[in-house]
Amino acid sequence: MKKIFKNTLLIIALFAAVSCKKGADPVPVTPPPVDPPVVPGSPVNYLQQAKDTHAFTVNNLLTASYGYRANTTSKSNNCYEWYNVSQIYADAAMVAAGETSYLVYMNNTFKFMDNMWDKKDLRGGYFASVNLDGTGAGGDKYVDDNALSGMVYLEAYDITTGADKQAYLAKAKACGDWLINSGLWDNVYGGGFYWNTLKPEKPTQTNGLTLQLFLKLYSLTGESIYRDWARQVDTWLTAKMFDPNTGLYIWKIDGPGEGTKRTQKFTYDNAIMIEAFILYSKIMNDPSYLTKAQNLGRAMNTTLWNAIYKGYVFNTAEARINPAWCAWGSQAMIRLYEVDKNPDWLMYARENINRLNIANRNSTNLGYYFFAGFDGQNRSTEMETVDQAWMQRIQAMLSKYQ
């Protein structure tokens, strides 16, 4: 998944430990005023928060072409694939919450995404970036971005009808087929998808998202190729990326020639795996995978939860939090609650979003900063589309449980 420097493989050390994942460079600045805290026990109108977040996005990031500029500062002339599809994901959650007016945003951005599809290669696949007007598609192709795009489109498929519904399914299938034919799975380290076409590394989240997409495509099409790929990816993740000591999945294995396992634990890596296991349990009719999802949720809430501030860490070596990657933990907890009705999952989901509202939200324009400390200090200057998208999405999802 692309951040500010998608085409760069440099890892920038933060706090003498580990970089922000995938090239992010949130430079500490003089801390702005901290927003007033949420009073414990006070009601939160999550649907209104989602609308406010969307309003910030429309006013500051939406373009005339219905793409979204990457951020309000350093990358204001760029559109990124996974930023755009994350906003589609956010708008789909609004539609699912009864706000049908968001369909126009969702569908128009989906049309804009066609500018990013590789039309010169019969295999297709989305490029990483494009200009604001839709020209100049280029950069590498990312496995995780394309897999996420497919999953987003399948959620849009669930809430649309007619030609729109079929278009979302067709493009999700095209994303899955690109993954299969991309040549980015090989036998180095026993299998696994590389992060992108440069083949730098094999991360958990990349493979977890492909697992989700293959499962969903199998459930909708019945085509055995998707089932077989899902099983293959799942087997590799369990063998190579699971850490039995913590019950969590590690970050990645570095690319050919090194093969070093990077054992930091990231919230969104493990959140992705929870969702994959829930899908596996339903689609493959295997209850043991629900147990695996629940055990992984408990491990997240043991190791990746900050009990003082009540929120998920970005990773086990980073002192600040990010709205997109940390909010992903809330989505996993909501998914667990939806299948087993344990209210504890929902409590974690809410408190995590409440913490991000305190730490990362600008109280004046209601946008979210890229990174901030748990206490709201040490905020980055950037306001990324993807961060607004994930906050809007989780706020919309939580609104159903108020």
Instruction: Quick: pLDDT tens for 180-209.
Output: 999 999 999 999 999 999 999 999 999 999
- Decide if 296 contacts 247 (C-beta within 8 A): yes
Token output for 87? 């906003």
Instruction: Quick: pLDDT tens for 213-261.
Output: 999 999 999 999 999 999 999 999 999 999 999 999 999 999 877 799 9
Polymer length in residues for the chain: 402
CATH dotted code for 21-401: 1.50.10.20
When pLDDT is averaged across residues 123-141 and rounded to a whole number, the result is 97
- Decide if 132 contacts 116 (C-beta within 8 A): no
Say yes or no to pLDDT of 360 above 70: yes
Token output for 126? 């989305």
Nearest-angstrom CA–CA distance, 44 and 391: 14
Q: Which range, of 12-26, 259-273, 279-293, averages the lowest pLDDT?
A: 12-26
CA dihedral sign of residues 167, 170, 172, 178: negative
Beta strands in 81-204 (DSSP E): 129-131, 201-203
Domain definitions of the chain by residue range: 21-401
- What is the pLDDT, as a whole number, of residue 255? 81
Say yes or no to pLDDT of 28 above 90: no
Question: Whole-model pTM?
Answer: 0.91
Q: Which of 103, 109, 152, 102 is nearest to 134 (CA)?
A: 109
- Decide if 342 contacts 336 (C-beta within 8 A): yes
- What is the pLDDT, as a whole number, of residue 402? 87
Q: Which of 9, 124, 119, 2 is nearest to 68 (CA)?
A: 2
